[in-house]
Amino acid sequence: MREDEDFVTRCYYERDPNTIYNGGIEYEQIIEEDFDAIIVESYASIPYQDVEKLVVNLKDRGVPSYIFVHEGSKEEMKYSALNIFNGIIVFDSRYMEMLKGYGENFTIIPYPCNPVIEGNRKFMEDGLKLFSFGRQPEREYIDFIESLKKLRSRYEFTYKIVRSNGLLTFNEKWIIQEQRRLGETSEIYNLLHSSDIHLLPKRKTDKVVVSSTLC
């Protein structure tokens, strides 16, 4: 993993993404800082109750707070209400619809995307290669794996999966797994450019979805 910049201080712990327990923040360490504002990048593994306690405390001291919403459904969010924040930032109008009745004072800031970087690989130049990376839980891969099992009887291919959160339990011979954290963006592009098809593990869902992997 790339080293943090000097101005970065890691001060919270995620809830377990599978059980949604544990997690927390270095409350005393944070509260001693002299903030002009606090920005919360909110997602399903953040320790909601601890964050809310911090935000309310800072608000009483006159420190404004702003939340960037990454959750795909209102039910995932465990704040008492979003009006504890001075402003709510979302990626598009779907989030405003999703959060109706839970908060107001929305601002839309579209998800930032990197410029397209073309590769020079010819399709199937050394065999058909599929590729996925990220932290998605195993259940998000199931539809892909079941479909690929059927296609495997007609086509030769390999499916490379790189994850930082441990190996998946699938043991098909055509699946190649690596457990490691991808650091530099160039490393991700090299893996993408050496593949023919990039698969985004995501099962059918009613949640609002924005794929940061595509941006």
Spatial CA neighbour of 66 closest among 50, 45, 53, 82: 82
Q: Do 175 and 104 share a domain, yes or no?
A: no
**Residue 213 above 70 pLDDT?**
no
Give the range of the structural domain holding residue 35, as residue numbers without chain letter: 12-108
Q: Do 102 and 132 share a domain, yes or no?
A: no
**Residue 211 above 80 pLDDT?**
no
Q: Do 147 and 86 share a domain, yes or no?
A: no
Q: Do 68 and 133 share a domain, yes or no?
A: no
Structure-model confidence comparison of residues 21 and 150, the more confident one: 150
pLDDT confidence of residue 20: 63
- Per-residue pLDDT of 6-20, as tens digits, reads 888 888 999 876 666
Task: Band the pLDDT of 191: cuts 50, 70, 90.
Answer: very high
Beta bridge partner(s), residue 67 = 40, 88
The values of phi and psi at residue 209, to 5°, are -125, 130
Q: Do 99 and 186 share a domain, yes or no?
A: no
pLDDT confidence of residue 215: 47
Q: How many CB atoms lie within 10 A of CB 116?
A: 5
Q: Do 149 and 85 share a domain, yes or no?
A: no
- Per-residue pLDDT of 78-108, as tens digits, reads 999 999 999 999 999 999 999 998 988 899 9
Q: Do 76 and 138 share a domain, yes or no?
A: no
d(CA 161, CA 141): 10
> What's the burial of 5, exposed, middle or buried (CB within 10 Å: 0-12/13-18/19+)?
exposed
- Per-residue pLDDT of 138-180, as tens digits, reads 999 999 999 999 999 999 999 999 998 889 999 999 999 999 9
Residue 114 in domain: no
Domain count, the chain: 2
d(CA 108, CA 92): 6
pLDDT confidence of residue 134: 87
Q: Do 90 and 20 share a domain, yes or no?
A: yes
Asked which of 56, 79, 108 is the last residue of a domain, the reply is 108
Q: Do 84 and 146 share a domain, yes or no?
A: no
Q: Do 101 and 133 share a domain, yes or no?
A: no
**Residue 137 above 60 pLDDT?**
yes
Distance of CA 124 to the CA centre of its chain: 30
What is the pTM for the complete model shown? Answer: 0.69
Residue 169 in domain: yes
- Are the C-beta atoms of residues 177 and 165 closer than 8 Å to each other? no
pLDDT confidence of residue 205: 75
pLDDT confidence of residue 18: 64
